[in-house]
Amino acid sequence: MVSLVLRYLNYLIGAAFTFVLLIALWGTVSELITNPPAESAAEEYHLEPKPLHLASDGPFGHWDKQQLQRGFQVYKEVCSACHSLRHVAFRDLEQLGYTGPEVKAIAEQWQIEQPDVNPDTGEADTRPNRPADHFPLPFPNEVAAKAANNNAVPPDLSLMVKAREGGAAYIHSLITGYRDQPKELLAQFPTAKTPPGLHYNPYFPTLNLAMPPPLTSAGQVQYADGTEATVDQMATDVAAFLTWTAEPDKIKRHQVGYAAVLFILIFCGLTFGAYKNIWRDKKH
């Protein structure tokens, strides 16, 4: 008898708890229906990346090595002042068409040297980069990075194409998307004025970012192959280069995939032929 009472008491407590939860849920839902949250400036004025077509796109894409070298030149002369490329080694540049001596010269002439220890004194020292070294960090630590970039740490660019929705198209749109804040935005959202030290860019999720426009005028980089260095061209080239740094084996994987698919097709054909040969004289 006591166990039966306890059982019904548990049922009653559970039902009461469920009822209270339903009341709370209904209150929340009804509030959202009657008073929907106001749309923020970021939600209304944020733009999706513009389409970008690269030679490496699609299952039959390929690396345009001239474009990758131009993109590396943009990174070297513009982006490397703030952004690291710590997952890439100098010797990886041979995949872009540079020769061994050229890679060695690039490593040795890189502005920032590798940290080292003086073997005579044991004190911190530096040495020239070698092809086997990864690209050095532009700042010794996060404190120095923040101090030089309006209290924001510039992200590493090695995997940026994979880390951001939109990939290379996002990078291209972001670089070329700086503009004055629209008057309509300020009229609709007076408190959304871009803070001092930040820059308005509708392709950035919050609309305002600490990085100033990296590419400001045509000819900012003098391409070694003579290509006209417009802002759009430089942005496209560096986006292509960062696509390679994020997936250097992309084209090779596609080629292996072609071979695998061809093997499967041939195997299926042989299997079907064997099946027909074995069962051709059999009656069902």
Mean pLDDT of 190-209: 92
Who contacts 153 (Cβ-Cβ below 8 Å, separation ≥6)? 142, 145, 146
| 86 CB neighbour count, 10 Å cutoff | 14
Q: Is the predicted pLDDT of residue 278 greater than 50, yes or no? A: yes
Say yes or no to pLDDT of 11 above 60: yes
Whether pLDDT at 110 is above 70? yes
% of residues, the chain, pLDDT over 90? 60
Fill in the DSSP letter of residue 207: S
CA proximity to 73, closest of 106, 108, 112: 106
Picking from 242, 113, 122, 107, the residue whose alpha carbon sits closest to that of residue 174 is 242
Quick one: average pLDDT of 126-139? Answer: 93
State the DSSP code for 20. Answer: H
Residue 79 clears pLDDT 70, i.e. is over it? yes
More confident residue, 280 or 89: 89
pLDDT of residue 39: 52
Residue 249 pLDDT: 93
Q: Compute the average pLDDT of residues 133-146.
A: 92
Cβ–Cβ under 8 Å, residues 69 and 234: no
Q: What is the pLDDT at residue 116?
A: 76
Select the more confidently predicted residue: 257 or 231. Answer: 231
pLDDT at 201: 96
Backbone angles phi, psi at 54, to 5 degrees: -115, 160
pLDDT at residue 46 is higher than 70:
yes
Q: State the Cα–Cα distance between residues 117 and 200, nearest whole angstrom.
A: 43
* Residue 33 banded pLDDT, cuts 50, 70, 90: low
C-alpha span between 135 and 113 (Å, rounded): 9
Least confident among 102-111, 143-152, 162-171, 195-204? 143-152
Looking at residue 258, its pLDDT comes to: 86
Q: How much is the pLDDT for 32?
A: 45
Cα 154 from Cα 144, distance rounded (Å): 11
* Residue 163 tokens, joined: 């880390």
At 37 the pLDDT is 42
Over residues 236-240, the mean pLDDT reads 98
